[in-house]
Structure 1
Amino acid sequence: MILLISDLHLEAGRHDITRGFLDFLEQQAVKAKALYILGDFFEVWLGDDDMSPFAKQIAEALHALSQSGTRIFIMHGNRDFLIGEHFCREAGCTLLADPSLIELSGEKVLLMHGDSLCTEDTGYQRLRFCLRNPLSLWLLKHLPLCLRRSLARRLRKTSRHQTQVKAGNITDVTPDEVRRVMQANGVQTLIHGHTHRPATHVLQINHQPAQRIVLGDWDKQGWFLQLDQNGFVQHAFDLPVN
């Protein structure tokens, strides 16, 4: 069994999501061969030098899962792209490139966070390009932590405002970009998060049936995608009451 999740947006103030995630590790993930976390695992990650008690709790829970035999892979999202090798060592997980082409049940599958597919959101894509530039990443990681916190607050405030005023199609994936990426990677299955629109979309790639599976975000419910002998099935579950 393989499990995939994304967009938990973990933070110390959301005890329901934290408890739901820890329960998920103990009840579902411990039975899996592998767990893939496709970005925005944390609401914000300012660098591996900002290991709060909350972050250490999460890392310890992941490490315990890894020690039980479940392989853990984590991909950067737009909110936690500063996760580095130190956190991965503490958590017993492997950092996964975005995008990543892997094999699941004998089929090539493309994994992405999903934000790079939203090409109609040109303002966001410009910001993403700037922030993911290797020089920008180096500078961000070497800024004093207080400045990174201030920058993160400004970016989150701007992001919330822009999301409210943008049309829905702007913040969703661009169909032509989805087809381009799937064709370029030679896959019939793409799995991603980011858009908070859980669904399985059926399409045609190179005149063959294909699917784009969108993972659910953890807010009012928790979500995970399970791959077993029955194929891909997405599950929603209630989070514990605060």
Structure 2
Amino acid sequence: MGKVALITGASGALGRAIAERLSAEGYDVALHYRAKEEEAKQLARELEAKGKGRAVPVQADIRRANEVDRMVQETEQALGPITLLVNNAGLVRDRSLHKLSDEDWDVVLDTNLRGAFRLCRAVSPGMRDRQQGCIVSISSIVGAMGNFGQANYAASKAGLIGLTKSLAKELARDRITVNAICPGFMDTPMVRAVPEAVQEKLVAQIPLGRFGEPSAVGEAVAYLAGPGGAWVTGQVLHVNGGMYM
């Protein structure tokens, strides 16, 4: 059986890094996007041009269960059974508590946490039948330590950690590993859009003295999905330059 990865939020900086690393490992990759169709198609073209494996863009709003199920079916029709799910899709709606609306809360939790739950539910039956599979969810340092103005985002990312630990216990009997990665502040367009003075304050809190490269997250996913991670499940891997220990 081939190696097939479904990566949600693949058109973003971390998603791209994960897709590039897995493609280099010989995975056929399904690149999920919600609205950024051209970015996903361009990434697919770039990956296939390198000749390591197939790459296909797949669209879905992961807040909708029927679209998640459709995307999983389309992925497996195009590439074969999914052996690795990477829950990377996420968004922010930053507000302090007194400004945080029900809509701000719901859209972040629905995407970052409920979407991941639906994807796990959709891919796990096939993995159970085959007695093989790997699920990696991209949480955040914010889910572990909290952050001002990000109660909704922190709750969603902390929820991913709880989901990971629970599913690891449920699915271990079927030889499915379930782990989470908590990136710290990475060198991405989102972080670089923050005012320079704020960036300097963030870097000052990182013992290694710099923002992380997105490729570090790709390497972490490849480890958990590879032979080295075969006996690792229910764990949270912090990739944060020592900012949170």
What interval of TM-score do these two structures reach, taking the shorter chain for normalisation? Answer: 0.3 to 0.5
- Per residue, is there more strand in 1 or in 2? 1
Higher relative contact order, structure no. (Cα contacts within 8 Å, ≥ 6 residues apart): 1
- Per residue, is there more helix in 1 or in 2? 2
